Amino acid sequence: MSTLAIVGAGAGLGLAVARRFAREGFAVAIIARRPESVEDLVARLHGDGHRAAGFVADARHPDAVTTALDRAAAELGPVQVLQYSPAPAREFMKPVLETTVDDLVGPVQQSVYGPVAAARQVLPAMRAAGRGTLLFVNGASAVRPRDAVTGTSVAFAAESAYARLLHEVLAPHGIHVAQLIIPFGIGDGPPGHAPEALADVLWSLHTERDAFRTFAEPLDACGFAPTAAGVLDRRDTPSA
C-alpha cells in the first residue's frame, strides 16, 4: 500500500486531504507537533475505516521530521506522496521594521530546514521506485511579500524557491513537485477554499502532474494588490 505523509496536519485541510487520498487506497501518516491533535486525527480516520498512524514531530526540528517520516514508512509503507503544510506561528508575523534576526529563526526552521529534511528523507525511496509526489502548501505571501507577515514572507519565498528547484530536477525521474497557493484562509472566502475543495485540488496536482504552481484563487481577484502593505494574508495564521 502506498502512503501519504502530511507534515503539519490539522483538523481542516490536513484531515480533508487525508480522507481524500485514503478513499483512493492510500495509507495516511499524520505528523504534527501536538500529541492530542495527532491522536484525534488518527481516530477520525480509523472511524472512517481508513488505515492511518500518527507521529509527533515539530516541523521546526528537522531531526524530528526525518524520524517521524522514517517511522511512518516502516509502519505503513513507502511514502509515495508527501504534503508539507504546517501552519505558521503567530509570532512569525511582525512588520518588517520590527523584525529582528531572532524573529526569522522560527520561520526559516519551519519553512526551509523542515521541507529540506522532509524531502531528503522521502526522495531516495521515490527515486528508487521511479515515482512520487511532493506537495507544498503556502499562503499568498510566498509570492507577494507583505509587511505585516515578514517572517512568513521571507521563509515562504525560500521554501518556494527550493520547491521549484526540486520540480525542475526531479521531473525527469518521475517525481512531481507542486505548490498550492491559498490566498484566503482555509475555510474563508470563496467556496473553493473549503478544506474538501482544496483537498480535491491537491489530489489533482498529484494525479495530473502538470505545472509547478497552482493558485486556489487568483490573487488580484482576492484583493491582494502587489503594493498593498500591512494587510494580513489570512492563510498565514496559525488557525490551519
Sequence spans of domains, the chain: 3-222
* Confidence (pTM): 0.90
Cα–Cα distance, 177 to 179 (Å, whole number): 7
Cα–Cα distance, 127 to 168 (Å, whole number): 14
In the structure grid, which three cell numbers stand for residue 125, read together? Answer: 525511496
Amino acid at 240: A
Predicted local distance difference test score (pLDDT) of residue 220: 67
Predicted local distance difference test score (pLDDT) of residue 186: 79
Write out the chain in H/E/C secondary structure. Answer: CCEEEEECCCCCHHHHHHHHHHCCCCEEEEEECCHHHHHHHHHHHHHCCCCEEEEECCCCCHHHHHHHHHHHHHHHCCEEEEEECCCCCHHHCCCHHHCCHHHHHHHHHHHHHHHHHHHHHHHHHHHHHCCEEEEEEEEHHHCCCCHHHHHHHHHHHHHHHHHHHHHHHHHHHCEEEEEEEECCCCCCCCHHHCHHHHHHHHHHHHHHCCCCEEECCCCHHHCCCCCCCCCCCCCCCCCC
Backbone angles phi, psi at 85, to 5 degrees: -155, 45
Cα–Cα distance, 135 to 176 (Å, whole number): 8
Predicted local distance difference test score (pLDDT) of residue 132: 98
Are 9 and 30 within 8 A, CB to CB? yes
Cα–Cα distance, 200 to 209 (Å, whole number): 14
What are the per-10-residue average pLDDT scores of the chain (240 residues)?
95 97 98 98 98 98 98 98 93 92 97 98 97 96 93 96 98 97 77 89 96 87 41 33
What count of Cα atoms within 13 Å lies in the side-chain half-sphere of residue 42? 17
In the structure grid, which three cell numbers stand for residue 83, read together? Answer: 504534503
Cα–Cα distance, 89 to 36 (Å, whole number): 18
Question: Which CATH class, in words, describes the domain spanning 3-222?
Answer: alpha beta
Predicted local distance difference test score (pLDDT) of residue 218: 78
Predicted local distance difference test score (pLDDT) of residue 219: 74
Predicted local distance difference test score (pLDDT) of residue 238: 30
Angle between helices 114-129 and 62-76 (to 10 degrees): 30
Non-local CB neighbours of 158 within 8 Å, separated by 6+ positions: 108, 111, 112
